[in-house]
Amino acid sequence: MQKRKKVVVIGGGTGSFTVLSGLKKYKNLDLTSIVSMADDGGSTGVLRDEYGVLPPGDIRQCLVALSEADYVTRDLFGFRFSSGSLRGHNFGNIFISALEKMTGDFNVSLRSISKVLKVRGRVLPVTFDNVHLVAELKNGKKLLGQSAIADCRSFCYEIKKIYFNKIAKANPEALLAIQDADLIVVGPGSFYSSLAPNFLVRGISEAVIKARAKKIFICNLMNQFGQTDNFTVSDFVTAMENFILSGVFHHVLYNTKLPPRSLLKKYSDEGYPVLSPFDLATDKRYYRLIGVNLISDSVPKIVKGDPIKRTLIRHDPDKLAKAIVSLLK
């Protein structure tokens, strides 16, 4: 019998949801999602502020991605109220937060929800510490909170550095998962608000560096004004490795197809497509570049009542998964 390959996906939000949704179809994979706990926007932010709970939003998306429950149950955890006092709130977020308050233990609540959703694999918070992101801009100003950083567009000066408002220690289970992995996947996702926060947690970067696994970085499709202005693929790799270690990645996956013009027009005030790394043709690279058409041909529906503006230009789960799995052979 062929040994199941252990794949660890590090990220958060829609990016991890996309990767996990595709990989879940490969039954020979043992999947673990390590999720950023920096989210404080929308429904998640309200629940954190009012009840002092840990952020449920990104965790919920990853649980749903790995769920093998019926579609009604999966859709229920993605349901968002569009009116009344609960407008903007997501049912899954409320459910997770209610369980945390009832049990007094976020980890216990996740295990219970994993049973309800019949999750194939594990979803692990990168930390259990209740922390908030801080971004220091080059003009000296500071932005407090993941949502403030995520909303930073062309009015922002370039980000100088990001950090937490206090020390965050790594979830021991996350460290063990990284140590035992055959393949570690980082990305895609909003760079400063979803990806980098994982590596601000003490112990995570060191664990990734020491791990014997193959390490893959999945580059974003689009740049964000005020954060990753005019980044090429190589710029993304360099920026990510600044949080871990130069030379840590073995493979870099990037998209080779432009999104439809109609969608590009809608996002012209937020950012442009990431440039392919043709400027690296003569460079001595330590990682293997893999260019593939990774654009999703379907456009996700806009959810009524969602207070967060979400990108409609997304990776295709099946295309991503196929490219990732090919690197396990």
> For the chain, what is the domain count?
1
Please, what is the angle between helix 91-103 and helix 42-51, to 10°?
A: 20
User: DSSP characters for 285-324?
Assistant: -SSEEEEE--B-SSPPPPPTT--S---S--B-HHHHHHHH
> In the predicted model, is pLDDT for residue 265 greater than 90?
no
User: DSSP characters for 204-224?
Assistant: HHHHHHH--SEEEEEPPSB--
- Is 35:110 a contact under the CB 8 Å cutoff? no
Task: Record the tokens describing residue 320, joined without a space.
Answer: 């991503």
Alpha helix stretches (DSSP H) within the chain: 13-23, 42-51, 57-65, 71-78, 91-103, 106-116, 146-150, 172-180, 204-210, 233-241, 261-266, 317-326
Q: Return the CATH number at 228.
A: 3.40.50.10680
**CB-based contacts of 135: which residues, under 8 Å, 6+ apart?**
142, 143, 148, 149, 152, 159, 161, 162, 192
> In the predicted model, is pLDDT for residue 288 greater than 60?
yes
Q: Judge whether 149 lies within some domain.
A: no
Task: Record the tokens describing residue 80, joined without a space.
Answer: 């968002």
Q: Judge whether 224 lies within some domain.
A: yes
Alpha helix stretches (DSSP H) within 117-203: 146-150, 172-180
Q: Judge whether 138 lies within some domain.
A: no
Q: Judge whether 160 lies within some domain.
A: no
Could you give the CA distance from residue 14 to residue 224 in angstroms, rounded to a whole number?
A: 16
> In the predicted model, is pLDDT for residue 236 greater than 70?
yes
Q: Judge whether 147 lies within some domain.
A: no
159-164 β-sheet, strand order:
142-144, 133-137, 159-164
Question: Mean pLDDT throughout 143-157?
Answer: 76
**Predicted pLDDT at 124:** 98
297-325 pLDDT per residue, tens: 876 565 554 444 556 688 999 999 999 99
* Structural domain boundaries, residue 120: 5-127+168-326
DSSP H or E run through 133: strand 133-137
Could you give the CA distance from residue 177 to residue 256 in angstroms, rounded to a whole number?
A: 32
DSSP 325: H
Residue 315, CB-side half-sphere exposure with 13 Å CA sphere:
32
Q: Judge whether 277 lies within some domain.
A: yes
Region of poorest pLDDT, from 58-72, 113-127, 264-278: 264-278
Is the whole-model pTM more than 0.85? yes
Cis peptide before 188 (omega within 30 of 0): yes
The radius of gyration of the chain's CA atoms, rounded to the nearest angstrom, is: 19
Could you give the CA distance from residue 100 to residue 309 in angstroms, rounded to a whole number?
A: 27
User: Dihedrals φ, ψ of 252, to 5°?
Assistant: -130, 120
For CA atoms 186, 28, 254, 78, the dihedral sign is negative
Amino acid at 156: C
What pLDDT band is residue 213 in, cutting at 50, 70 and 90? Answer: very high
**Predicted pLDDT at 282:** 47
DSSP 31: E
Q: 137 burial class (0-12, 13-18, 19+ CB within 10 angstroms)?
A: middle
Could you give the CA distance from residue 258 to residue 109 in angstroms, rounded to a whole number?
A: 41
246-261 pLDDT per residue, tens: 999 999 999 999 888 8
- Is 183:5 a contact under the CB 8 Å cutoff? yes
Q: Judge whether 259 lies within some domain.
A: yes
Q: Judge whether 139 lies within some domain.
A: no
**Predicted pLDDT at 290:** 92
> In the predicted model, is pLDDT for residue 39 greater than 50?
yes
